[in-house]
Chains A and B, each alone.
Chain A
Amino acid sequence: MHRYANPTRFLKIARVATPIVALLGMALTAAGLWIGLFASPPDYQQGESVRIMYVHVPAAWLGAGGYMSLAIASATALIWRHPLATIAARAIAPAGAAFTAICLISGSLWGKPTWGTYWVWDARLTSMLILLFLYLGYLALSASEAEKGGEARASSILALVGVINLPIIKYSVEWWNTLHQGSSISVVNASSKIAPALLTPLLLSVAGFSFLFAAIVLMRMRAMLAQQRVDARSRRMAEALA
């Protein structure tokens, strides 16, 4: 693990990996959305509005999964003080926030024709909104820490405290009566209540969104490391001139 936490080694791998991951993400997302939006049947109850699922579900999974990786990176930064871990956390947060926002907006647009309302304060919708607020809080706090040039301590703690929201999001539809339906896909039982014709484009777009997420994180991490080098160099030059 320490081997890959070395920024120079990371940059060497990331330079090769970024275009591959980005192209894979674009190709899989394009395939998933093409089949999902044009080449798959409508749902027997929802009709055409089921197609919103091909954006909504991957966005939701990556919003929540992104937060888990933000928390792991933050824990690594807190415990082992890896400089790369803080950079990873700061790179993940805006991408996770964006996917969570896409999930909330697309869900709201699906809710109006299906449920008859854009929004309700049920446990699933509310806990997902709290996830967005956690991301926004993390972004604000870590931006101010980065500005001061200190360690990302407070923001890492915030990221870890927010982890408690993840099981609440996952199980909200089981623990309480919610307007949001229960889970259609169980990873543990490897079972799904979605017909194969609708499941194939969904899984393709989940894979595509995941690679896109990884590509965004890699690009942001490389940009942040480059920025650090520029800052260090200009500091040295300013010192030499003074």
Chain B
Amino acid sequence: MKAKHQRLWLVVGALTALGGAGVLAFSTLGEKATYFYAPSDLAKGPAPTDAIRLGGMVEKGSIQRDGETIRFVVTDMAKTVPVTYTGILPDLFREGQGVIAEGKIDPVTGKFTAETILAKHDEKYMPPEVAGAMKKTGAVSTGG
């Protein structure tokens, strides 16, 4: 075997081993690298006492404003969590849009008190006229 073939197999072997190590590491890391929990994830186990991030859609018709304080429901179409937040909201915060709330869940009532609210954007991009036309046919929701 020529030296350069030896080096080729060495590199291929090393990269395969590295890939395997990466797969193992990431299967162990699993859900820990997740940025937020969906309402269904929270419903599975006992309510976490630490600060967590809750992500999902703002349920349509659930927003209630009371001065600086806002109440709404986060849903993942299976489970829901009621959220309370006081403060400034990002521009993209709307009904029917993705949202991530950082805060704590009350273990007794299951109510979530948010410290921060981030709006999540989806992967669809289109001009307003197209969105307007699609909204009429019900193909897309533009929220509130």
Residues of A within 8 A of B (CB): 40-46, 50, 53, 75, 78-81, 113-117, 120-123, 160-161, 163-164, 168, 175-179, 181-184, 193-195, 197-198
Chain B interface SS verdict (over half): mixed
A160 neighbours in B (Cβ, 8 Å): 11, 14-15, 18
6 shortest A-B CB distances, which residue pairs?
A116-B90, A44-B131, A41-B127, A195-B126, A122-B35, A184-B123
Residues of B within 8 A of A (CB): 4, 7-8, 11, 14-15, 18-19, 22, 26, 31, 33-38, 55, 89-93, 97, 100, 116-132, 142
Partner of B35, one of A164, A177, A184: A177
Also in contact, A114 and B131, with CB within 8 A (given A164-B18, A176-B34): no
**B125 in contact with A53 (CB, 8 Å):** yes
**A178 in contact with B35 (CB, 8 Å):** yes
B120 neighbours in A (Cβ, 8 Å): 115, 179, 181
With the chains together, A27 CA to B22 CA distance in Å? Answer: 41
| A134 nearest CB across to chain B (Å) | 14
Partner of B22, one of A78, A164, A184: A164
B37 neighbours in A (Cβ, 8 Å): 177
A79 neighbours in B (Cβ, 8 Å): 4, 7-8, 11
